[in-house]
A and B are shown apart, each in its own frame.
Chain A
Amino acid sequence: MINSFTADWRKLRQRPAVWILGGIMLVALLLFAYVIPWLQLWFPSSTFRPDRGLTIDQMKSALYPINFVKNSLTGVGIVGSILTLILGALVAGSEFNWGTVKTVYTQRPGRLQTLFGQLGVVSVIAAIFTVVFYGAAAVASVIIAASNGVAITWPAAIDVLKAMGATWLIFESWSLFGIALAYLFRQSAMAIGLGLAYVLAIETIVVRLLSGFNVGWITTIEKGFLGQNANSLIQSLGQIFVPPGTPAPLVSAGQAVLVLALYGVVFAAMAGLVVRTRDVA
């Protein structure tokens, strides 16, 4: 497995698409979590009104280092899910697109060893994305605080670790979803297309429709969706202000972690089954 990991690390660390995805994620985070709120709060338009009864000063404090973890976590959301899904689909699907799957399978490692190496490298890349994500957020928050003469105070280390762990788990489960789809369809295009359709149509539209019913079994189904558990985890760990009337997360943080981990295992097992049993045409 070490050989497969080394080989996959060599190919993916040099692949521009991987770092372009990471770059887009970073730009999205900085743009939506820091740059746009900063422009909105420091140069507000005449029609600007703070959210849910918050003051402008409270909203500004969300951009300071003390809140950089929670502010970033809320920025993981749909963009992080989509980009890590694409990462997984590209990593596995391109091997079929380029025909390199047969080159890899005719080397020494067994097929499952090859898959484990690939999963290991994707996990490392998800971890790198996570660290860079929070690193960039910390730098942005320091710049904003310093430019406003606000004292720099950091959140507790345990909170930073919890948020980073949650972010990594969310990235990991979505990228494993992309990998499983790519092995299933033996290409990246179909995997990305169906993955996006799932994120945008099922997770967004269907779940929104389901949430309109106050029926026990429908709520139970809703609690099983990948995106809903990721959102609950983000909500549990990432809320800076909880104005009155804010609905509680659909599931607890602990349950969301378990469900996301379970999804990861199921997606890896699906990929393993396909890798082990399918012919390479």
Chain B
Amino acid sequence: MANGNVITTRGLTKRYGPSITAVDGLDLEVHRGEVFGFLGPNGAGKTTTLRMLLGLIRPTSGSAVVAEHRPGEPEGLRRIGALIESPAFYPYLSGRENLKIVSDYAGVPHKRVDAALEEVELLDRAKDRFGTYSMGMKQRLAVAAALVKDPELMILDEPTNGLDPQGVVEMRALIRRLGSGDRTVMLSSHLLNEVQQIADRVAIIRKGKLVAQGTVHELRGEPAIVIRVTPADAAHRQLDRMLGAAAVTGVDGTLRLSVNPDKAADINQALVASGIKVSELRADERTLEEVFLTLTGEAA
């Protein structure tokens, strides 16, 4: 947080009627220059939150500051590029004309249009009507529209929705490029493996409530090594001496060692040298998907 937050929300809440709470007291902090993953199961309140951040819907209570302004203020929107759910453009116009309209609204020169189209590799189809684009091209055009303003913050809501595997790969590469500089990217996605690779920090919400927020590393926890050995008691004693008792835990007939998986070869060598048979040795590192499923209560 050395260089401040681009997004800060405090107690952000959206209710629809007395019985539906879409977002419930959300406290988010998105740091400048990071790629921030915003995760949650379907209906968790991700899109509602993003719409509130952009001023499309008004919160019932709580506050938000986005790009140093209240959501929806023109000066704030000038610094934000957004893709909310499906890409929405005028079907009878070409991709380039659509982006010219976006740049007219945003008050930026048209020369940014072709630069944005080139960045998403859509320049060769710029003259074609939006209605003829494939889903992947539509998503890329939406990202280009978000880029026209050369924004310091990009909010991308499920940018890989509806894409085929090739489209997902292309979009992943594009998001990586977008997040590689000083720009802040807030990314809502179901593709946890992708978010794990791209995001610096993530927040997970469930039923409108924040259940976790932190770096990917913090959420995944410390890595460990799991071994299956015979005899287990002798191995336990030896590993206690080698690594310290606190680092060794017995789990379901295996031993879980809270050490860096890089040490696996040394540990294996020491156990074998002591006459202990090692039948299994593997790194134990929780994926973001496992963390997500645990926190959202969706684990099998």
Residues of A within 8 A of B (CB): 3-4, 6-7, 10-11, 14-16, 98-111, 113-114, 279-281
Contact = CB atoms under 8 A, between A and B. Distances in A.
Interface stretch (B77-85, B260-268, B284-292): B77-85
Contact of A108 (B85, B93, B107, B145): B107
Contact of A100 (B72, B77, B82, B88): B88
A14 B74 CA distance: 27
B90 A3 contact: no
Majority secondary structure of chain B interface residues (helix, strand, loop or mixed)? loop
Interface of B: 51, 54-58, 72-74, 77-78, 80, 82, 84-86, 88-93, 97, 100-102, 104-107, 145, 149
Contacts of B72: 105, 110-111
B90 A280 contact: no
Residue of A16, A98, A279 contacting most chain B CB atoms (<10 Å): A279
B88 A99 contact: yes
A98 B104 contact: no
Nearest to B100: A10
Nearest to B88: A99
B89 A7 contact: no
B131 to A, nearest CB: 10
A108 B97 contact: no
B58 A279 contact: yes
A106 B91 contact: no
B84 A102 contact: yes
A109 B84 contact: no
A11 B55 CA distance: 24
A280 B104 contact: no
A14 B84 contact: no
Contacts of B57: 279-281
Contacts of A113: 74
Contacts of B80: 106
A3 B106 CA distance: 7
Given A106-B82, A280-B57, A7 B105 contact: yes
